[in-house]
Structure 1
Amino acid sequence: MSNHMWMGYGFIAAVTLAFAWLTAMPRNISAKRWHYAHAAIPLAAVLAFAVTPLAARATAQMFLSCGILILALVTLSWMVGQTLRNHSIMDIAYPIIIASVAGYALAHSASGLSAHAVTLFALVALWAARLIAHTASTNFQVEQEPYASLRRRFGAHWPIWSFFSVYVLQGTILWMWCLSIVLGMSATQGSFSVLDGYAVLVWLTGFSFQAVGDWQLRRFKLDPANAGKLMQQGLWALTRHPNYFGEALMAWAYFLFALQHSWGWAGLISPLYVTWFMGFGSAAPGNERHMRKTRPEYEAYAARVPKFWPRLPFLRR
């Protein structure tokens, strides 16, 4: 397909998706600007493709192709969620989607099955496998919050609005997250570099925060003696959101892999967005609002423990 056809079809698809998304948006929601901004992202990506230099055009095409793949996978996930009447399966689907993008990019990697590309894919696959195992044990059984509350709130409009507000929205977010991965896979330099070594160390640190934090919280909740109590131990004594911090740190690791690409600096969008989303834009603030309403002791905990960036024990006064 020629570049002009990519731009033409991409522009039509992006405008159509944004129009359908915003038309389906209920009038009584408070996060309209959130949806306006994310509905514009596919159109912005197509317009960016139009001005992409020839040297980076193949990578830009790969990124647009991954967007199409993500749209297909979130649509399939929505169909499954509709059938099961359980849209919390999106929490299981999203690591599968990112791993699928990484696999697709690996299959079309400019350096083939190089040490650089295979290492990047292996890290993404390991992250995805752990997260799938972590969420599948609960999310398949019954629809989790906030999805269950949203179903009750929107009633008959939920089937169509869930497609956009849960699946297309998160698909757009994941597309932004994957930019660094696509750039890393598209690098022509395939050898394992010193920078890749640093990236692995950053990734292992982030993965440890997320995996150990989740494990500590799960073990805490399984103990009947902790019923109604607030987790304040282990990594949760260093940061109120070790799992979200770990996710952001892994995004920075993928960016370091992307720097093997001559246009890798453009991947800075991914870790900046993930860090903002996890710590300040959506994930942590949403969890904080819930915890402050349901846990009276949370205020004292918040006054003592940092929200996002960990305070290491040896730095405490």
Structure 2
Amino acid sequence: MSTGRDRAVGFAVVTAAYLAAGLVAWAVVAVARGPHPLLLTFYADLAATVVVFAASMLVGNASLYDPYWSVAPAVIVTAWVWWQTGGEITAMTGRQTAVLLLVLAWSIRLTANWALSWRGLDHEDWRYVRLRERRPRGVPWWLVNLTGIQLMPTLVVFAGLLAVWPAVTVTGRSWGLLDVVAVAVTAAAVLLEATADRQLQRFTQDPANRGGIIDRGLWRYSRHPNYLGEILFWWGMWLFALAAAPNWWWTVAGPVTMVLLFTFVSIPMMDERSLARRPAYAEHMRRVPALLPRPARHR
């Protein structure tokens, strides 16, 4: 059982690691001259990831990377807006303001959700423990940690951020109906994910539900409504890209990658674990879809 001191030490380590990662990313941007700002951001993102990886190996806990998923995008998008406006807040367009506020809302909420559930350096995500245990013989853990746990999500998130680049740097098109749709989709996604996480937290904290399967609220219509919210968030970002620069339509690769990640990696791992712990979960899977909601099936 982790104590408040354990959590304090853990968060201090995370804070130090992320400050170091930020400094290294800033150094990459300051030193490298010539590359397109988008490519420069990519280099800085990779460098910061390597720093977090090194810290995770140093303390023996791959979960140090977990908040990077939600922290890095907020920093990157803020930097892009700052670069495009020259640091003049009053120069921000309506679209830039909407995108930045939505990204910050998503980032703060998701990071806070991680912080509430992480118990300290002795708490490592069960998926990482499983990857360590199941890795092929002869494959070093550091390689699995670097590529599978840290670099891969960094690449996936950066693919999602490709759509945000035109949304906050191309300012030739005025606010339109598609922007309104993008705001609605993205805000709904953040609300959906927040509601699902809150419902799950309440369910797991109730001793009466120990060993049970959540099938109420949003979870009655989708086995993973929190993942659905995450996917919709990135589709919302892509809609902003279309509103700002239709010729950037190809950035649809970002949200498509998110769909593939959750459909073929995250959801199967979660369902496999639930099946192993609760045999009744097989019937739950038959009745309730993985992502897109529909009325639950009954016999």
- TM class, shorter-length: 0.7 to 0.9
Secondary structure (helix, strand or coil) at the match of 2:36 reads helix
Aligned to 1:148: 129
Aligned position for 1:215? 198
In 1, the alpha carbon distance for the partners of 2:295 and 2:193 equals: 16
The within-5 A match list for 1:51-66 is 61-66=36-41
1:120 maps to 2:102: no
Contact 1:237 1:305 in 2 (8 A): yes
**Per-residue deviation, 1:67:** 1.2
Query: RMSD over aligned Cα, in angstroms?
Result: 2.5
Alignment partner of 2:209 out of 226, 239, 242:
226
Please report the TM-score for the alignment, with normalisation by the length of structure 1.
0.74
- Please report how far the alpha carbon of residue 184 of structure 1 lies from its aligned counterpart in structure 2 after TM superposition: 1.1
Partner of 1:177: 160
Q: Give the aligned residue type for 1:198.
A: V
Between 249-258 and 144-153, report the one with greater CA deviation.
144-153
Greater shift after overlay, 212-221 or 109-118?
A: 109-118
1:285-304 equivalent positions in 2, closer than 5 A: 285-304=268-287
Cα distance, 1:285 vs structure 2: 1.8
Aligned to 1:138: 117
Residue number in structure 2 paired with 1:265: 249
Residue 74 (structure 1) aligned to one of 40, 49, 52: 49
Residue identity matched to 1:82: M
Whole-Å separation in 2 of the counterparts to 1:152 and 1:239: 30
- What is the aligned partner in structure 1 of residue 68 from structure 2? 93
Residue 164 of structure 1, CA deviation: 2.1
% of aligned pairs identical? 26
Residue 147 of structure 1 deviates from its aligned partner by 1.6
Aligned-partner Cα distance in 2 for 1:252–1:137: 27
Which residue pairs with 2:14 in the alignment? none
Normalized against structure 2, the TM-score is what? 0.78
Of the three residues 217, 226, 247, the one matched with 1:243 is 226
SS at match of 2:53: helix
Q: What is the rounded CA distance, in whole Å, between the counterparts of 2:76 and 2:128 in structure 1?
A: 25
Checking the alignment, whether the CA contact within 8 Å between 2:85 and 2:92 is kept in structure 1 is no
Q: Residue 67 of structure 2 aligns to a residue in which SS? A: helix
Q: 1:204 to 1:262 in 2, by over 3 A?
A: closer
What is the number of equivalent residue pairs in this alignment?
256
